[in-house]
Structure 1
């Protein structure tokens, strides 16, 4: 479902961390284009700049040079407040540590970001329930994070990221806290959302098995892109294709 239209255009992006008189270049004049409907993985050794790249391209962190556009909107031409609002309305985030509110149920965790951007409560609840059903958790909507497995918690975070119908989802080590079986389930879900619904996803991972499952793989080293190639991903068999709906049986 890819198109030729760019969703993200980054040009000459620089990020420098300074400690006293020491300056470390984390991103070095980096250029990147991600098109509508792409699923992209960013890999590289520790300290290569993967998470910094994600944080800068999403506007979570500032940059020291260059330009980042999402659907033609220059993130860093906006005020901090406008960029925060734009991010809340157009981006979804999936983190390694889940970042769920422990005293909230699954449905409350998913609907909260919608309420914060002004969605009416009834509509927020409807969309939250629909997304939890989409990720195979219709039977767990009233459960709190402590009552769910790690894989279930990560699926709640994916539902939360998608409930706002974002232009792009950023995923930072989304399988990092999961065992291999749960990691496979989460990747089945992300791949299905990309394949079936055209969701644009950029994920950071250190796991070569995860990198092998995406159509486009980017490798970083020392703050630069050193490889950017498309790869043939294994054909998905019928069992894997149905894995998202089958998750409700876990």
Structure 2
């Protein structure tokens, strides 16, 4: 698969309201008397159409950052606004519905339902949000064709390769036309050849205008985005500390 040229955000993107805005976000996990400060006062904006890569050492808060900014986890302090909505100003039910309607997720472990076909896995987010069954089926088939799996739509996850399963998760993430897609180590469970195909697919999706935030340990993938955010000890440095990395902005994080 040929990877298309990356599109850059509009030159006035920073003057527009961000699609995601986080201010002062903190998260602490407590086990008995032990505390882990996973996030410490994080500020971050993501604008529409950006491809933002998040990197950093294991255990330093990357996945927690994704989970908190997407509303999968609660936060202790701060605010997170996504697509114009204050995530933690909503009830749990409203946040779940907003997440289903306006966000997509791609996980390392795929998280596909094993008893459902690829088509049924992809159409599920639409059915949950009330899309009529016929329309959901049609949209799911279109998305599977888009990721190159039209001929595998009737297969269950156990009948698909790892790369094919990850393509199903990408189709599922995109099917509801979300404002933002979150990807947590999308190539982490794949061999290098298969991972390369997923990287190309993510860049194709971004080139079509999709906003993505990708957590990764893959240095090549991390440097291929428009912006590289480094997370260390749960902190993100001030934007005044930006440095250029491979033509893209790196936001260095330190304790």
Q: Same fold (TM over 0.5)?
A: yes
**C-alpha distance in 1, partners of 2:27/2:244?**
27
Task: Look up the match of 1:104.
Answer: 116
Question: Which runs of 5 or more structure 2 residues have no equivalent in the other structure?
Answer: 1-7, 249-255
Residue 13 (1) aligns with residue 25 (2)? yes
Q: Show the 5 A alignment for 1:177-192.
A: 177-192=189-204
Which among 189, 201, 209 is matched to residue 212 of structure 2? 201
Q: Show the 5 A alignment for 1:58-69.
A: 58-69=70-81
Q: Which moved more, 1:151-160 or 1:16-25?
A: 16-25
The Cα of 1:2 is off from its aligned counterpart by 2.5
The Cα of 1:214 is off from its aligned counterpart by 1.2
**C-alpha distance in 1, partners of 2:98/2:242?**
28
The Cα of 1:156 is off from its aligned counterpart by 0.2
**C-alpha distance in 2, partners of 1:108/1:184?**
26
Task: Look up the match of 1:246.
Answer: none
CA contact (8 A) 1:26 1:49 kept: yes
Secondary structure of 2:221's counterpart equals helix
Secondary structure of 1:224's counterpart equals coil
Residue 222 (1) aligns with residue 237 (2)? no
- CA-based RMSD of the aligned residues comes to 1.5
Which among 212, 218, 221 is matched to residue 210 of structure 1? 221
The Cα of 1:215 is off from its aligned counterpart by 1.6
Q: CA, structure 1 residues 198+153, in 2 after alignment: closer, same or farther (shift >3 Å)?
A: same
Instruction: State the number of aligned residues.
Output: 233
Q: Show the 5 A alignment for 1:63-102.
A: 63-102=75-114
The Cα of 1:101 is off from its aligned counterpart by 1.2
Task: Look up the match of 2:188.
Answer: 176
Q: Deviations over 1:116-157 (max 9, x none)?
A: 110000100010000001001111111111111100000000
**C-alpha distance in 2, partners of 1:83/1:229?**
35
CA contact (8 A) 1:10 1:67 kept: yes
CA contact (8 A) 1:213 1:233 kept: no
The Cα of 1:25 is off from its aligned counterpart by 1.0
Question: Which runs of 5 or more structure 1 residues have no equivalent in the other structure?
Answer: 235-250
**C-alpha distance in 2, partners of 1:86/1:15?**
22
Q: Show the 5 A alignment for 1:36-51.
A: 36-51=48-63
CA contact (8 A) 1:212 1:233 kept: no
Task: Look up the match of 1:241.
Answer: none
**C-alpha distance in 2, partners of 1:233/1:161?**
28
Q: CA, structure 1 residues 135+128, in 2 after alignment: closer, same or farther (shift >3 Å)?
A: same
Secondary structure of 2:94's counterpart equals helix
Residue 124 (1) aligns with residue 136 (2)? yes
Secondary structure of 1:28's counterpart equals strand
CA contact (8 A) 1:217 1:230 kept: no
Secondary structure of 1:225's counterpart equals coil
Which among 4, 9, 18 is matched to residue 2 of structure 1? 9
The Cα of 1:230 is off from its aligned counterpart by 5.7
- TM-score normalized by structure 2? 0.88
